[in-house]
Amino acid sequence: MTDEAFFELHRAIPRQGPGDASDVLWALSVVGEPARVIDAGCGPGADTETLAEALPLAQIEAVDLTTHFIEEARARLECFGPRVNTREGDMRDITGPADLIWCAGSLYFLGLETALPLWRGALAPGGAIVFSEPVFLSSPPSAEVAAFWADYPGVGTEAELRRRIAGAGFATRATRVITGRAWLNYYLPLMARAARLRIGAGPDLAAVLDAAEAEFARWRAAPDHIAYLLCVVAPE
Ligand SMILES: C[S@@+](CC[C@H](N)C(=O)[O-])C[C@H]1O[C@@H](n2cnc3c(N)ncnc32)[C@H](O)[C@@H]1O
């Protein structure tokens, strides 16, 4: 799978992972009205946009390592003017101070045990981190769920995730299971684009389309049980 073929499929879709505006609004109902927000691993900026709309007075920074995605985020977010800043860069380098670090579907690139202690110093007093991580809703998971997460080592139950969060020196303030519609928000535009690109696709692109369609088929086998857990955490 080449990067070029991967980005050919993944460009021009609204988001790069499961999520929904209602997830952002739920998290804000827990953390209040943060004045300084960082969207770490923002992708094309879907959640940044919701944050900017929901928090009209907040200063927001959206950070992503991938040029394609941050360019899409920049185009999408320029309507908010200077209070929403996009930055191509590594979320390891976040310095804050932030009242909220939002990280949807991106934390696993660093790992929870690395990211939470790293970002502790970037949080303003009273600040919180909200992130989503794969979770098993039953233990053991069904064969379908295990097959879906086969390439992601270390997926566990909510209780195990909470223990890892505590081990990193954070308290879990609230959690929300993300299944169903939030995943379709990601997959449906991706599959529509895959169908359009299929006509005339060369071998590299065809391999990327095959892999994406196979992943969607694995998800459709258990859409109510394949889940992310959205976690609101704060330093202990
Ligand atoms: C699964 S996507 C989720 C994107 C976005 N949060 C969303 O929900 O649409 C993961 C994102 O993390 C970004 N990423 C991975 N490692 C990163 C790093 N070290 N620093 C910043 N961004 C990173 C990728 O470029 C990608 O855009």
Quick check: CB of 109 below 6 Å from ligand 1?
yes
CA distance 82 to 219: 39
Please check whether residue 191 lies inside any domain of the structure: no
CA of 11 relative to ligand 1 center, distance in Å: 13
CA of 101 relative to ligand 1 center, distance in Å: 13
Contacts of 204 (CB under 8 A, 6+ apart): 1, 2, 4, 5
Please check whether residue 192 lies inside any domain of the structure: no
Q: Using alpha carbons, list the distances in angstroms from residue 148 to 94, 140, 157, 215.
A: 31, 14, 15, 7
Residue 63 phi, psi (nearest 5): -120, 135
Please check whether residue 37 lies inside any domain of the structure: yes
Tell me how crowded residue 207 is: count the other CB atoms within 10 A of its CB. Answer: 15
Q: Is the pLDDT of residue 51 over 80?
A: yes
Please check whether residue 209 lies inside any domain of the structure: no
Q: For residue 19, which atom of ligand 1 is closest to its CA? A: 8
Q: How many domains does the chain have?
A: 1
Please check whether residue 59 lies inside any domain of the structure: yes
Q: Is the pLDDT of residue 50 over 90?
A: yes
Q: What is the CATH number of the domain that holds 156?
A: 3.40.50.150
Backbone conformation region of residue 34, classed left if phi is above 0, alpha if psi is from -120 to 50, else beta: beta
Q: Using alpha carbons, list the distances in angstroms from residue 88 to 62, 65, 68, 91.
A: 8, 5, 10, 9
**What average pLDDT does the chain have?**
97
Q: Whose CA is nearest to atom 11 of ligand 1?
A: 41
Q: Is the pLDDT of residue 1 over 60?
A: no
Please check whether residue 90 lies inside any domain of the structure: yes
Tell me how crowded residue 218 is: count the other CB atoms within 10 A of its CB. Answer: 16
Quick check: CB of 86 below 6 Å from ligand 1?
no
Domain extent, residue 91, equals 15-137+152-181+225-235
Please check whether residue 132 lies inside any domain of the structure: yes
Alpha helices for 14-111 (secondary structure H)? 21-31, 46-54, 67-77
Q: Is the pLDDT of residue 2 over 90?
A: no
Tell me the mean pLDDT in the region 179-192. 97
Please report which confidence band the pLDDT of residue 25 belongs to, taking 50, 70 and 90 as the band edges.
very high
CA distance 71 to 97: 24
CA angle 215, 218, 220 (to 5 degrees): 110
Please check whether residue 32 lies inside any domain of the structure: yes
Quick check: CB of 36 below 6 Å from ligand 1?
no
Q: For residue 186, which atom of ligand 1 is closest to its CA? A: 9
83-115 tens-digit pLDDT: 999 999 999 999 999 999 999 999 999 999 999
